[in-house]
């Protein structure tokens, strides 16, 4: 194709509008026309990228291997600019690139970039804007991908966590109906005994022993078994079914209290009295269990709501770091329990105000803890601390895993770099964590050796941020 014809095509290119004609001529002279049929693979993941591509016509797109599989994340059409751009740090293809239809591009090798920067300033300025737009697009896509991955992990853990209290509430409600019938029958039988006022007072005193805060939870299994045996013997001596001893042993009732009640009550009232006590206690216990299960469900839902900030606008505001960490550890608790990982937290009270996006900071905390759980061995330990220090508020996440090998420690924050097996990690979590901390004008640092890996986040304190800027 003649240079003049190629210049005309470049002049009609939508990204190159306003570029002086002599600079378009430079492009035409230094570039090489390349054509690709539909379905051609232009790049493989990891291939070196050495050329600027001015897309004249056609369409091609890039597919990246993400945690859930291969996905198309960006496409270029006639009128776009792709490939390597001056000042870009891009060196290799992050994914597989295919032409979706016959495509024609003008390729300029990176060796020509110094001359381009020197001689074609308007062209270079346009290319830099293209590079920034592309970086923003990939960053936005990466953030969404990582959020989806985080939500996937959250959903899996939440389903497991919710199943336990939901099942407990369902079982409790089912048994509660039976116990209510037993309770009604027992109290009807007791009412038929027509107890006097003193006798009713004796029954009420015995019943109070069953509903005071029980100390059973603090008893050892051996002490509880001995107590059950002692109450069972008392019941047998009075001609009663010793099966009631199992329920009575969970209360604070004693053989002496039972003996005092037996002395005050008519003999025919003793059997319905014990039946009414056990039925009432079992009914009360089931109601408490259902209440606790419902409270646990409410706690989990509140934690997810707090973790995602789903009901709040995406605007910087004072962040409650203690609450954020509480919500984060709540939604990751099931994963830690499944691996018997112990997580200890030390959060300084009355922390100074940090202004930011709470949901995005929680995403950082979740990424760091999730990675730490994966890194440590079964029964491993993770330490989380949040303190006020000279630099600002410092968050530390420390694990006792094997550490990060020195040969890859400098790559750990690179996009798409992961040491996890295929399909188990996107390679985006730490890259996005660093970007999010950068957006909060903070710092994310790493120190690692065998047996101790520490991620340290320093967040500026509100009121000191502006002072630091002015001082600089």
Tell me the pLDDT tens digit for each residue of 7-57. 999 999 988 988 999 999 999 999 999 999 999 999 998 899 999 999 999
pLDDT digits (tens, 9 = 90+) for 362-418: 888 988 998 899 899 999 999 999 999 888 899 999 999 999 888 887 778 776 556
pLDDT digits (tens, 9 = 90+) for 227-255: 889 999 999 999 898 888 888 888 888 88
Do 225 and 280 sit in the same domain of this protein? Answer: yes
Among 268, 297, 326, where does a domain finish? Answer: 297
The CATH number given to whatever domain includes residue 48 is 2.60.120.10
Question: For residues 410-428, b (16+ Cβ closer than 10 Å) or e, as one string?
Answer: eebbebbebeeeeeebbbb
Helices 3-11 and 21-30: angle between axes, nearest 10 degrees: 120
Do 347 and 291 sit in the same domain of this protein? Answer: no
397 found inside a domain: yes
Query: How many domains are contained in the chain?
Result: 3
CA torsion 161→369→326→291, rounded to 10°?
A: 10
Do 266 and 167 sit in the same domain of this protein? Answer: yes
Rounded to two decimals, the pTM is 0.47
132 found inside a domain: no
Do 16 and 69 sit in the same domain of this protein? Answer: yes
* Domain region containing 97: 3-119
130 found inside a domain: no
Phi-psi group of 290: left, alpha or beta (phi > 0 → left; psi -120 to 50 → alpha; rest → beta) = alpha
Long-range contacts, stretch 134-137, CB < 8 angstroms, 24+ apart: 134/74, 134/85, 137/74
CB atoms under 10 Å from CB of 169, counted, come to 19
Do 224 and 167 sit in the same domain of this protein? Answer: yes
Residues 6+ positions from 398 with CB-CB distance below 8 Å: 382, 383, 384, 385, 452, 453, 454, 455
């Amino acid at each position: 194709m003649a240079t003049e014809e190629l210049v005309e095509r470049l002049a009609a290119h939508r990204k190159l509008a306003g570029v002086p004609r002599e600079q378009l001529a430079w492009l035409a002279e230094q570039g090489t026309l390349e054509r690709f049929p539909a379905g051609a693979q232009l790049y493989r993941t990891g291939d070196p990228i050495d050329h600027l591509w001015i897309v004249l016509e056609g369409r091609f797109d890039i597919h990246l291997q993400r945690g859930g599989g291969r996905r198309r994340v960006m496409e270029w059409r006639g009128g776009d600019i792709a490939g390597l751009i001056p000042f870009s740090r891009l060196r290799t293809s992050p994914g597989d690139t295919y032409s979706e239809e016959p495509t024609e591009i003008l390729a300029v090798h990176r060796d020509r970039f110094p001359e381009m920067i020197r001689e074609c300033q308007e062209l270079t300025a346009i290319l830099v804007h293209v590079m920034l737009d592309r970086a923003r697009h990939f960053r936005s896509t990466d953030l969404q991908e990582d959020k989806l991955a985080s939500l996937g992990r959250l959903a899996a853990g939440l389903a497991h966590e919710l199943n336990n209290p939901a099942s407990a509430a369902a079982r409790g409600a089912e048994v509660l109906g039976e116990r209510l019938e037993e309770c009604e029958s027992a109290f009807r039988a007791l009412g038929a005994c027509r107890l006097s006022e003193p006798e009713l007072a004796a029954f009420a005193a015995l019943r109070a022993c069953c509903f005071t805060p029980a100390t059973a939870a603090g008893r050892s299994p051996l002490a509880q078994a001995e107590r059950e045996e002692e109450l069972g013997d008392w019941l047998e001596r009075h001609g009663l079914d010793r099966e009631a001893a199992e329920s009575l042993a969970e209360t604070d009732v004693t053989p002496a209290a039972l003996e005092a009640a037996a002395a005050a009550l008519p003999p025919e009232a003793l059997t319905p009295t014990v039946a009414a006590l056990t039925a009432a206690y079992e009914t009360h216990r089931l109601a408490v269990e259902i209440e606790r299960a419902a409270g646990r469900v409410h706690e989990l839902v509140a934690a997810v709501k707090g973790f995602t900030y789903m009901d709040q606008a995406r605007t910087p505001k004072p962040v409650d770091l203690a609450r954020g960490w509480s919500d984060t550890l709540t939604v990751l608790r099931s994963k830690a329990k499944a691996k018997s990982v112990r997580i200890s937290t030390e959060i300084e009270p009355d922390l100074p105000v940090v202004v930011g996006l709470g949901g995005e900071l929680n995403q950082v905390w979740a990424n760091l803890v999730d990675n730490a759980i994966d890194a440590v061995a079964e029964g491993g330990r993770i330490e989380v601390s949040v303190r006020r220090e000279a630099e600002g508020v410092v968050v530390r996440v420390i694990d006792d895993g094997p550490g990060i090998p020195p040969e890859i420690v400098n790559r750990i924050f690179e996009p798409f770099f992961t040491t996890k097996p295929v399909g188990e990690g996107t390679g985006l979590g730490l890259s996005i964590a660093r970007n999010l901390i950068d957006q909060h004008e903070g710092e994310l640092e790493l120190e690692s050796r065998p047996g101790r890996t520490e991620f340290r986040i320093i967040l500026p304190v509100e009121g000191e941020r502006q002072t630091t800027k002015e001082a600089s």
